[in-house]
Amino acid sequence: MDYNDILAQANDKLVSARSERELAEIKASIFGKNGTITELMKKLKDVPPEQKPQAGKAINDLRVKLAETCEQKEKQLHREKIEQALASENLDLSIDKCCAHVGAIHPINQIRKKLTDYFVGNGYIVYDSPEIETDYYNFQALNIPPDHPARDMQDTFFIGNGMLLRSQTSAGQIRLMEKHKPPLKMICPGRVFRNDDDSTHSPVFHQMEGLVVDKNVTLCDLKGALEGFAKFIFGGQTAIRFRPSYFPFTEPSVEVDVSCFNCHGKGCRVCKNTGWIEILGAGMVNRKVLENCGIDPNEYHGFAFGMGLDRIAMIQCSIDDIKLMWENDVRFIRQFR
Ligand code: PHE
């Protein structure tokens, strides 16, 4: 058979391939170990010497031509494969974007995070204290003995065996001071429980306790700390005021109001026309409480404060029913994205 016939035949075979796999097989039958070209090379030894150069060149030309055909065919089959895939994989790009639900952080968690960031930035540690407490930590160590009338301020859930659901995060003060020596600077955020239920009170709510104990801590330091926090949360123009109050674990005790962020003191619906909004209780740590924790009240002084996170969230977001916070209605949550 002459070289031209071999070329034509092999070429036809390559061109007829219908898939990449088929082409690979044909390719092997031409260029492979026992392929057409290899066979021709082997036969070269039988060719008379004077014809050898010519024959060698002819085989080489043949190889180059077939390789070209092969490459073209490969490209063609690859292109066809992609076109086929594109035609069969039908993507529906018309899907409605409203189906992608983006979550929202609950307003209480938003406030909690914002406050935590603020206090941590000012050198406070975050202290986690148990929700199930003993009478001792929730009351007695805080200078509230068994028949003290102050117990009526908080309608507590007792769960038997001297245990109760903590009614205030102040219990965290005792746990911290028992374990760690001053100087101390901590906040204790968490859930608290009271048997109370109306549009502004829920049996479960959130508080954030603050405690600072060191040498030479004064009421001025308390005022400075709370002023910084109030401005951070309610805006730079916010002022605070102290009103005398009573808590068994602080002496003196104060209730703290912030100037209304809505009307700036003129009087409006948010502040019930007083210009002020009550946001927390605070005071200088009672020396009896320090003593109960083994801290010398002649050497160390401290201040403490406790605020209701739900209340702050409600004021800030104009939410008038605390139940909305617990109903898990996504229409409510979505408004706080
Ligand atoms: N524990 C008090 C309450 O729940 C708030 C408070 C905390 C007051 C710390 C003074 C100091 O009402």
Question: Which residues make Cβ contacts (< 8 Å) with residue 204, sequence separation at least 6?
Answer: 191, 192, 193, 326
Q: What spacing in Å lies between the alpha carbon of 295 and ligand 1's midpoint? A: 20
pLDDT at 246: 95
Atom of ligand 1 nearest to the CA of 253: 10
- Ranges of residues in the chain with a pLDDT under 70 are 1, 98-99
Residue whose Cα lies nearest atom 2 of ligand 1: it is 306
Residue 306 CA: which ligand 1 atom is closest?
Answer: 7
Beta strands 125-126 and 184-193 are parallel
Span 5-52, pLDDT tens digits: 888 888 899 999 898 889 989 998 998 888 888 888 888 888 888 988
Nearest CA residue ID for atom 9, ligand 1: 305
Q: Using the mean position of ligand 1's atoms as its centre, give its distance from the Cα of residue 102 in Å.
A: 37
Q: Which atom of ligand 1 is nearest to the CA of 211?
A: 9
Q: Is the shortest distance between the CB of 283 and ligand 1 below 6 Å?
A: yes
Instruction: Sort strands 132-134 and 158-160 into parallel, antiparallel or unpaired.
Output: unpaired
CA dihedral 32, 37, 38, 40 (to 10 degrees): 160
Residue nearest to atom 12 of ligand 1 (CA): 281
DSSP one-letter string for 237-265: T--EEEEEEEETTEEEEEEEEEE-TTTTT
Cα of 79 from ligand 1 centre, angstroms: 75
How far does the centroid of ligand 1 lie from the alpha carbon of residue 262, in Å? Answer: 26
Give the pLDDT score at 134. Answer: 97
Domain residue spans of the chain: 3-88, 107-336
Q: What per-residue confidence (pLDDT) applies to 99?
A: 67
pLDDT of amino acid 229 = 93
Cβ of 156 below 6 Å from ligand 1 = no
Any bridge partners for residue 277, and if so which? 258
7: nearest Cα among 43, 52, 60, 53: 60
188 C-beta closer than 6 A to ligand 1: no
> Which pLDDT score is estimated for 1?
60
Question: Is any ligand 1 atom within 6 A of the Cβ of residue 193?
Answer: no
Provide the pLDDT for residue 303. Answer: 98
Gap between the terminal Cα atoms of the chain: 82
Cβ–ligand 1 contact at 168 (below 6 Å): yes
Q: Which residues pair with 244 in a beta bridge?
A: 254
Model confidence pTM above 0.85: no
Residue type for position 199: S
Long-range pairs of 40-44 with CB within 8 A, sequence gap ≥ 24: 40/6
> Tokens 């104990």 correspond to what residue?
213
Instruction: Tell me if 106 sits within 8 A of 336, measured CB to CB.
Output: yes
> Thinking of the domain 107-336, which architecture would CATH place it in?
2-Layer Sandwich (3.30)
The answer, yes or no, to whether any atom of ligand 1 lies below 6 A from the CB of 286, is: no
Cβ–ligand 1 contact at 304 (below 6 Å)? yes
171 CA distance to ligand 1 centroid (A)? 10
